[in-house]
Structure 1
């Protein structure tokens, strides 16, 4: 092994140049873990590009690196980034001490990211210790998603959240972790700017129709409070009662109840919180729509038990948007918000357990065995038959995850009947349905076992003497580049 100062490998060679923010940093910003006003420390910052870009964005950011910036600060900051650092450390004890040091410096949250074991095929090198000694004399310990989460939890002593495979958030306060989990389960009301009293009252009415209750003082933004802050709760209730549609109030209440059950159901993975630790909006939903916190938790637990019932799950899938096969339900990302609550809970349990990739657009829920998968089919809307690029899944019985990359394969799986993955009211459903009808008339689905892969699909297009131009099926012409006229349309 190559000696390099105090290390046993050339760790600094793993520091790469980037044209943009690193993926972990972008995700932390997107998730709201890193917010305006937060101070940031990039612990093991490499060449310091993330730090420079954060500074240009107005953050008070600093970086420390044992090779590139050993004189940099290592002081307490709101957010500490530990990006792809643990991978390159050969000694497991040093790996643990590095993580512990980074956690000690994090006042609000520590963001940890690492390379994963499914990347082994991309690394040229030989096995060494618990990792790989690469051809460039660098070291890589590749984590499984479960190993990474459990490692961070063991060192920090806190329940952690994986927003995506290879990333973990460790929050200093339970309230911050619970608020993060709420953002994906409890519908957030986006207040519009108010310029007068009438608009402010209109926003109160709109909120009430959205959540089935009037907002409490702490939920109302300052600019709206400036117009209605003098009103008592009784007066606000009277104004909402006059202006709100009772049917929308009822619908909003049902939505708030389901959101709360979903939130409390998934919270069991990290230990059910005390009522006082819950986000203020969740507490108010419980106070308004349930007899007690105990009642809300009991109902969430009953919903969790239904996840074990194959008959119940299959029934929920039968009444759900998406494509139901003999083994699973497949649903487009745009349609997941309309899934029955037990299926939303099913998916979210998988997410809380192992994270979900950020580029997925097709969700798969097995109705036996309880496995959740998220797949990426690029250009779903524009490609008449999008090809599978990547799929990531977690087995709920073991919490073990797996990943497959199809992007470089010559004969990739592809989708047909795209409308079946969407909600009936999706604006693209009619367009996709017309294409499917023309393909059926052309005989393209006569041999269903052949069309699941690219080469088989191309063979069927040739057999039927047709080709696709966007979402139109046309008769195949002698000159493929010629522009067809309306008389050559296959349907």
Structure 2
């Protein structure tokens, strides 16, 4: 980055915690133990200091604050909120290319979104604006940022979150990331009492976890060598340990595990179509073995996944699947589910929701997902105090329109009358341990007549008025006389 007419150095913030893109990369396992990070345009170097304190190898360069530092290759390169402060489009492209040239494995790129400009005053300049402090800002649409990255680098970026993308050097790593974004669920296993199993359960636990995740036995070196050694020492072989696990568990349990893993794989393969579906040889070995074991061939799973994708483009089909869903709160125009219950929806709805995350990435704060059946739109709703509050209020919403390829943010945190939730149990899986508590509260509220005027209770003030009129209050998840 070269000198310019705007005060770029003023955009560097002082942070006491990790920046959002670096924290996201850590949470996603993009940056792990033994991997180095180079922060290209590191500002005052707070991410470098914080990562070093956590035991990571981190370094960085910045034209204003660390101009003498060497620009060195690293496993992960972070280009955090840099491209949006460069007013020259050609220089912006050159900076992205320079950061990519230093990247051994993954480039993490972030930029500010259009919604960040709503309350920002400034004068137009180039394709952005100059703020009152003399800094330049270019604000992006999510799809616009993805297209720009691919145009410059010729590589498909993967959305990590709104405004944050990962660009992988290796396609196998990219597909592992896509597969990891599928919401998974496995039913709780019940172990029959068995003296032999009780004596070795700690030894076979890693094998049990592998079988639960993959719905098959491990092959070759898929289990760590030290785990295999302990199993052989206690039970003679991994096959014998597998037989013992099947002896103390119900066959129906493994039928359910297989069903859920097949749904995971179908969703992944459907979503892998975006950006170009990989060849079978480009898949991670364990992922490839799962597909071959549970579907017989890659061609078969691709055919089934493509049928699901086609159904996602049929609004009538989405409506029918939403109405047949065993979980979720139904409204005339949408199905609402808790994030923990996504994998219990019909497969076509899982793919529908996944299509939205391909565009927007994961909205970490969202715990309720709204799937519209009236238009191709998915919303990610943040009810921060869902578990603590009997009737949590909405703090923010990210809405993804699949037809328009837009991602919009709306903030409710300062609203005096935000929307709020009732009947929380309806958003959850049927076997969720929280349901009994929420159901008891709902029954009490129904008996008290609080739901007789539904048009009044959808917002905080309306609900408070109904409670006051009935002479009751919620304390925890109990309804008591005021």
Give the TM-score of the pair, scaled to structure 1: 0.89
Residue 162 of structure 1 and its aligned partner are, at CA, apart by 0.8
Partners of 2:374 and 2:465 lie apart in 1 by: 34
Residue matched to 1:95? 92
Residue matched to 1:375? 381
Partners of 2:433 and 2:200 lie apart in 1 by: 36
Residue matched to 2:189? none
Secondary structure of the 1:449 match is: helix
Residue 23 of structure 1 and its aligned partner are, at CA, apart by 1.2
Say whether 1:351 aligns with 2:348.
no
Query: What runs of 5+ residues in structure 2 fail to find an aligned partner?
Result: 187-196
Contact 1:209 1:248 in 2 (8 A): no
Partners of 1:197 and 1:280 lie apart in 2 by: 29
Deviates more, 1:235-244 or 1:293-302: 235-244
Partners of 1:240 and 1:424 lie apart in 2 by: 26
Residue matched to 2:281? 276
Residue matched to 1:223? 226
Question: Which residue of the other structure, out of 124, 128, 145, is the alignment partner of 1:148?
Answer: 145
Secondary structure of the 2:461 match is: helix
Residue matched to 1:46? 43
Residue matched to 1:489? none
Secondary structure of the 1:276 match is: helix
Partners of 1:306 and 1:54 lie apart in 2 by: 45
Contact 1:125 1:134 in 2 (8 A): yes
Q: Write out aligned runs for 1:106-185 (5 A).
A: 106-185=103-182
Partners of 1:185 and 1:175 lie apart in 2 by: 16
> For 1:169-199, what per-residue CA distance to the aligned partner results, in whole angstroms no more than 9, with x for missing partners?
000110111111111228599xxxx9x9775
Partners of 1:144 and 1:379 lie apart in 2 by: 29
Residue 61 of structure 1 and its aligned partner are, at CA, apart by 1.2
Q: Write out aligned runs for 1:189-268 (5 A).
A: 199-201=202-204, 203-205=206-208, 207-208=210-211, 210-228=213-231, 245-268=250-273
Residue matched to 1:463? 469
Residue matched to 1:392? 398
Residue 215 of structure 1 and its aligned partner are, at CA, apart by 0.7
Distance 1:453 1:234, change over 3 A: closer
Partners of 1:163 and 1:104 lie apart in 2 by: 21
Distance 1:443 1:237, change over 3 A: closer
Partners of 1:233 and 1:427 lie apart in 2 by: 34
Partners of 2:341 and 2:182 lie apart in 1 by: 15
Q: How many residues align?
A: 469
Deviates more, 1:208-217 or 1:162-171: 208-217
Deviates more, 1:330-339 or 1:13-22: 330-339
Contact 2:353 2:378 in 1 (8 A): yes
Say whether 1:402 aligns with 2:408.
yes
Residue matched to 2:5? 8
Contact 1:388 1:406 in 2 (8 A): yes
Residue 90 of structure 1 and its aligned partner are, at CA, apart by 0.9
Partners of 1:37 and 1:458 lie apart in 2 by: 53
Residue 314 of structure 1 and its aligned partner are, at CA, apart by 2.8
Say whether 1:328 aligns with 2:325.
no
Give the TM-score of the pair, scaled to structure 2: 0.91
Residue 274 of structure 1 and its aligned partner are, at CA, apart by 0.4
Residue 412 of structure 1 and its aligned partner are, at CA, apart by 1.1
Contact 1:306 1:313 in 2 (8 A): yes
Distance 1:383 1:206, change over 3 A: closer
Deviates more, 1:41-50 or 1:382-391: 382-391
Partners of 1:307 and 1:237 lie apart in 2 by: 39
Say whether 1:446 aligns with 2:452.
yes
Deviates more, 1:169-178 or 1:142-151: 142-151
Distance 1:119 1:186, change over 3 A: closer
> For 1:66-86, what per-residue CA distance to the aligned partner results, in whole angstroms no more than 9, with x for missing partners?
010001111211110011111
Partners of 2:251 and 2:438 lie apart in 1 by: 36
Deviates more, 1:169-178 or 1:314-323: 314-323
Residue 234 of structure 1 and its aligned partner are, at CA, apart by 6.8
Partners of 2:246 and 2:449 lie apart in 1 by: 58
Residue 237 of structure 1 and its aligned partner are, at CA, apart by 6.7
Partners of 2:337 and 2:95 lie apart in 1 by: 41
Partners of 1:332 and 1:342 lie apart in 2 by: 17
Distance 1:28 1:419, change over 3 A: same
Residue matched to 1:483? none
Contact 1:205 1:244 in 2 (8 A): no
